Chains A and B, each alone.
Chain A
Amino acid sequence: MDSISIKVLFFGKARDLVGVGQKDVDILHSNLKANEFLEIIISKFPRLEEIKSSTKLSLNEEYVEMNDVLSLKSGDEIAVIPPISGG
């Protein structure tokens, strides 16, 4: 089976930890939970472990809960959005 290419955006602290704002990530299965997807990107960018407990994920501009099963297809966009609080 072909891999599925997901566009991942990193905001706030996640961007600092990864070093770039955007990366394409290939996954093998289309059906997985949001927290499983987070584990996949943490395995590629281990420093993201730091924000694992506080970050939110969105799929195609819609927030998802960590227990939600995502049904992903190539070209989908997932954003990693930790809270920010300056101003």
Chain B
Amino acid sequence: MAHNLTNSEIERYSRQLIIPDYGIESQNKLKSSSILIIGCGGLGCPSALYLSTAGIGRLGLVDDDTIEISNIHRQIAHDENKIGISKAQNLADRCKALNSLVKYEVHNILFTKTTALNLIEQYPFLFLSIYCTDNVITRYLINDVCVLLGKPLVSGSALKFEGQLTVYNYLNGPCYRCLYPTAPPAHAVSNCSDAGILGPIVGMIGSLQALEAIKVVAEIGTCLNGRMMIFDGFDFLTRIIKLRPRQIETCLMCKSVLSRENLTKKDREEILENFDYIEFCGVSNYNDKSINISILSDKKRINCSDYKNFTESHLLIDVRPKCQFNICSLPNSLNIPFDDFVYNEEKVVENIRDKLGNEKSIFLVCRRGNDSQLAVEILEKHFNDKEIKDLIGGLQTWSKEIEPDFPKY
């Protein structure tokens, strides 16, 4: 059959070309296709490496973040001598070393309504892998742009020992919004830096995203559109859940596309512009870094250096989860996880009353200084004759400003 592969390409891709169900037709389609990978982290690394070595024609890599040492246990394309370098650029460099025949495009940008539409428009196939993010806005935004442009979206996510994988907006399968018409409340979604993630889990989900992308591009096999794979690596359990088809009646985006013929660029911009993502998701911005909240008034808080100089006897309570307390803690601190404050308030109060004796002050500390403030609010109700304060910025700030040798995680 007619193809446009060179002899050196035939040799390079020979081990996949000789699979009867793949063949030279699939390789041809791969060579003339483009894929955009959003997020160059734990999922993006393996998927980009495999799509690059498989011989995709053009590969766009999006990420506005730089490499940190705590990324490397799972983001396997990033090396320890590249700390501080752009993730997208470094991943492109690594891919290029594996296969220089692919055209690479680096996008060091944050996704917003405008950038998303302009960028995704340039790529026939889209392949999503959001890196560690609790940012629901980005997830809905990318989904919506894909629906408006009629592009399939290979979606992966992973946390702790678990992964999920599906192909949205492909054939008659649903989009992300069909499946989740209302955004989950922010507190119900955890991210990798708070909940943790194991390398092989993202490695597996990211590799499978590359597999699904290859099948979508080559139009072979049976893809995961209309189905979602859920993998629990802890108990080694896999379930393939059948999804409902596209929700033309109720899904805001699918409805707006199917009710009109041939959306123009202006129509798409208008649909996106008219949708208030910030209100819909109940979060404040497009950035997905863990943010520090401030709910207590200044007089109920103490900064790290004032705490260091506080010499009177007092009770220090560390409200982090036990597994974090076991990593490192301040001397003489008592660990009562914040979850216990919420679900076992009475017992916690009793326990504190026991330990408190004649102390006049209670200080609360956590990792970043968020949960400790909420714990102050709970304790205030029970100990109105005591001084109760939270340590501003938590142990992260303590480590940065007071005790550089204190472990960072």
Binding site for B on A (CB under 8 A): 9, 11-13, 15, 21-22, 47, 50-51, 53-54, 56, 58, 61-63, 65, 79, 81-87
User: Which residues on A sit within 8 Å (CB–CB) of B159?
Assistant: 12, 84-86
7 contacts between A and B (CB under 8 A): A12-B162, A54-B180, A79-B239, A83-B157, A84-B159, A85-B159, A86-B158
User: Which residues on B sit within 8 Å (CB–CB) of A54?
Assistant: 180, 182-185, 188
User: Which residues on A sit within 8 Å (CB–CB) of B148?
Assistant: none
Give me the 7 closest cross-chain CB pairs, A-B, nearest first: A54-B184, A86-B159, A87-B43, A86-B192, A62-B242, A58-B241, A84-B159
User: Which residues on A sit within 8 Å (CB–CB) of B192?
Assistant: 86-87
Cα distance A53–B132 in the bound complex, in angstroms: 23
Determine whether the beta carbon of B133 is less than 8 Å from that of A63.
no
User: Which residues on B sit within 8 Å (CB–CB) of A50?
Assistant: 187-188
Cα distance A55–B409 in the bound complex, in angstroms: 30
Q: Which residue of A lies closest to B136 (CB)?
A: A85
Q: Which of A12, A81, A82 has most chain B Cβ within 10 Å? A: A12
User: Which residues on A sit within 8 Å (CB–CB) of B134?
Assistant: 85-86
Q: Which residue of A lies closest to B183 (CB)?
A: A54
Complex interface: stretch among B86-94, B227-235, B353-361? B227-235
Determine whether the beta carbon of A47 is less than 8 Å from that of B190.
no
User: Which residues on B sit within 8 Å (CB–CB) of A11?
Assistant: 162, 230, 232
Q: Which residue from B39, B42, B235, B241 sits with its C-beta under 8 Å from A81?
A: B241
User: Which residues on A sit within 8 Å (CB–CB) of B130?
Assistant: 85, 87
B34 within 8 Å of A by Cβ?
no
Size category, B interface: 35 or more
Determine whether the beta carbon of A85 is less than 8 Å from that of B139.
yes
Other A-B contacts than A13-B189, A87-B129, 11 sampled, CB-CB below 8 A, are A53-B182, A54-B180, A54-B182, A62-B241, A79-B230, A83-B180, A84-B164, A86-B191, A87-B41, A87-B44, A87-B206
User: Which residues on A sit within 8 Å (CB–CB) of B206?
Assistant: 87
User: Which residues on A sit within 8 Å (CB–CB) of B202?
Assistant: 87
Determine whether the beta carbon of B230 is less than 8 Å from that of A86.
no
Determine whether the beta carbon of B242 is less than 8 Å from that of A86.
no
Determine whether the beta carbon of B179 is less than 8 Å from that of A56.
yes
Q: Which residue from B189, B241, B343 sits with its C-beta under 8 Å from A63?
A: B241
Cα distance A86–B41 in the bound complex, in angstroms: 10
Binding site for A on B (CB under 8 A): 39, 41-44, 129-136, 139, 156-159, 162, 164, 179-180, 182-185, 187-192, 195, 197, 202, 205-206, 230, 232, 234-235, 237, 239-244, 343
User: Which residues on B sit within 8 Å (CB–CB) of A82?
Assistant: 184, 188
Determine whether the beta carbon of A61 is less than 8 Å from that of B235.
no
Determine whether the beta carbon of B232 is less than 8 Å from that of A87.
no
Cα distance A15–B234 in the bound complex, in angstroms: 11
Determine whether the beta carbon of A86 is less than 8 Å from that of B184.
no
Cα distance A62–B182 in the bound complex, in angstroms: 20
A87 to chain B, nearest CB (A): 4
Determine whether the beta carbon of B157 is less than 8 Å from that of A87.
yes
CB-CB under 8 A for A87 and B205, given A21-B237, A79-B230:
yes
B132 to chain A, nearest CB (A): 5
Q: Which residue of A lies closest to B39 (CB)?
A: A87
User: Which residues on A sit within 8 Å (CB–CB) of B244?
Assistant: 63, 65
Q: Which residue from A51, A83, A86 sits with its C-beta under 8 Å from B197?
A: A86
Q: Which of A22, A50, A63, A86 has most chain B Cβ within 10 Å? A: A86
A7 to chain B, nearest CB (A): 12
Determine whether the beta carbon of B240 is less than 8 Å from that of A86.
no
User: Which residues on B sit within 8 Å (CB–CB) of A58?
Assistant: 239, 241-242
Determine whether the beta carbon of B188 is less than 8 Å from that of A81.
no
Determine whether the beta carbon of B156 is less than 8 Å from that of A87.
yes
Q: Which residue from B162, B239, B241, B242 sits with its C-beta under 8 Å from A84?
A: B162
CB-CB under 8 A for A86 and B188, given A61-B240, A81-B241:
no
Q: Which residue of B lies closest to A79 (CB)?
A: B239
Determine whether the beta carbon of B188 is less than 8 Å from that of A13.
yes
User: Which residues on A sit within 8 Å (CB–CB) of B42?
Assistant: 86-87
A58 to chain B, nearest CB (A): 5
